[in-house]
């Protein structure tokens, strides 16, 4: 066993395949998962494994530039919203609202991996858009100036910014 590593072989393998802009969808127990999805089913019983536990582990094992989820989480489940904010504070990730129907119709089909939790919390579905390490690319010892996207993510990380829904 490796300390502080993901023990689920399928999940660890799926995360190792991620590239920039690949999507990981973390769902509640009842989300309609496409039949051809690459699914890692972590739902053991109702309520376990919880979606927040999965998000906390993923936060330690992948770079995320966008977290898309239903705006109802903020308005109807403020405690859940606060927990998700806490998980992604200082990550550089942006929160972008995605209605539940959009998560089903657009994000689920393009997810490289779908992780089903045992959560029974309405709207507890999150599309994580994978990123690269904003410090590994465009290093200070290279003459190439970082792209604006990387500069902005670095700023959010360095200021330990608390994410909130992006206003359009």
pLDDT tens by residue, 137-154: 777 777 777 788 888 999
Q: Which two tokens stand for residue 52?
A: 């927040």
Q: Do residues 42 and 54 make contact, with C-beta atoms less than 8 angstroms apart? A: yes
Q: What is the CATH number of domain 9-158?
A: 3.40.1650.10
Rounded to whole angstroms, the Cα distance separating 155 from 157 reads 5
Position 26 scores a pLDDT of 98
Catalytic residues: 20
Nearest to 30 by CA among 9, 15, 10, 47: 47
pTM above 0.85, yes or no: yes
C-alpha pair distances (Å), 20 with each of 15, 28, 71, 108: 12, 25, 25, 17
């Amino acid at each position: 066993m490796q300390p502080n590593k993901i023990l689920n072989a399928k999940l660890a393998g799926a995360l190792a395949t991620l590239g920039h802009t690949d999507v990981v969808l973390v769902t509640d127990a009842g989300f309609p998962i496409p039949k051809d999805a690459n699914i890692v089913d972590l739902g053991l019983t109702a309520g376990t494994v919880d979606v927040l536990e999965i998000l906390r582990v993923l936060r330690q094992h992948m770079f995320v530039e966008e977290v898309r989820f239903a705006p109802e989480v903020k308005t109807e489940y403020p405690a859940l919203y606060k927990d998700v904010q806490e998980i992604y504070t200082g990550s550089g990730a942006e929160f972008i609202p995605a209605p539940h129907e959009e998560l089903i119709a657009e994000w689920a089909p393009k997810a490289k991996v779908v992780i089903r939790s045992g959560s029974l919390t309405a709207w507890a579905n999150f599309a994580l858009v994978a990123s690269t390490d904003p410090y590994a690319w465009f290093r200070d010892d290279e003459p190439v100036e970082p792209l604006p996207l990387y500069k902005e993510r670095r700023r959010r990380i360095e200021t330990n910014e608390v994410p909130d829904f992006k206003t359009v």
